[in-house]
Copies of this chain bind each other. A is one copy, B any other.
């Protein structure tokens, strides 16, 4: 069982890349990468976020997120402003252009997935749908694991 899950995680890499290839093809106005799209979604679902929070959520280091946000800013999709609560911190938020663009992203993604899912039989579609809450839990759990590790690291 665990072996199969590991294999799945592996095979998912090409699928995720494929998904973003199609999104890029569908929305030639703005060419988003996987990481950029992921950050944009996070900001749209969760509202303005600090740099450090984004880095944690995407599991990258701060200097990495600095560059990713810089590129999104250059594309006009997000903006930065100082956090009123802490002079050191920076809040990143989605611009109106970013919101419009994200709607196009969602449409392209859904269309792609709907087509593929319709080629599966009813039994398979039901199985995938039933597993979604469990897979979501597995991912959430992971984020909490990371926080724990940081605390341990800090104690050293």
Interface residues of A (CB under 8 A from B): 1-19, 21, 34-35, 37-38, 41, 57-60, 106, 109-110, 113-114, 116-117, 119-120, 123-125, 127-139, 141-143, 145-146
Say yes or no: A142-B18 contact (C-beta < 8 A), given A5-B128, A110-B3: yes
CA distance A55 to B146 in the complex (A): 33
Give Cα A19–Cα B2 distance, bound, in whole angstroms.
13
Copies in the complex: 2
A12 lies within 8 A of B10 (CB) = no
Determine the main DSSP class of A at the interface with B: helix
CB contacts (< 8 Å) of A17 on chain B: these are: 58-60
Q: In the complex the two chains form, what is the Cα distance from A134 to B121 in whole Å? A: 9
B5 near A12 with CB under 8 A, answer no
Please give, as numbers and ranges, the residues of chain B lying within 8 Å of A130 by CB-CB distance. Answer: 127, 130-131
In the complex with contacts A116-B141, A127-B134, A12-B14 CB distance below 8 A: no
| Chain B residues with CB under 8 A of A59 | 14, 17-18, 21
CB < 8 Å neighbour of A127 from B41, B60, B131, B142? B131
* Further pairs besides A14-B142, A16-B16: 18, Cβ < 8 Å: A1-B117, A1-B125, A2-B117, A4-B132, A6-B110, A9-B109, A10-B41, A13-B35, A14-B58, A15-B142, A21-B59, A116-B138, A117-B138, A120-B134, A124-B133, A124-B137, A125-B134, A128-B138
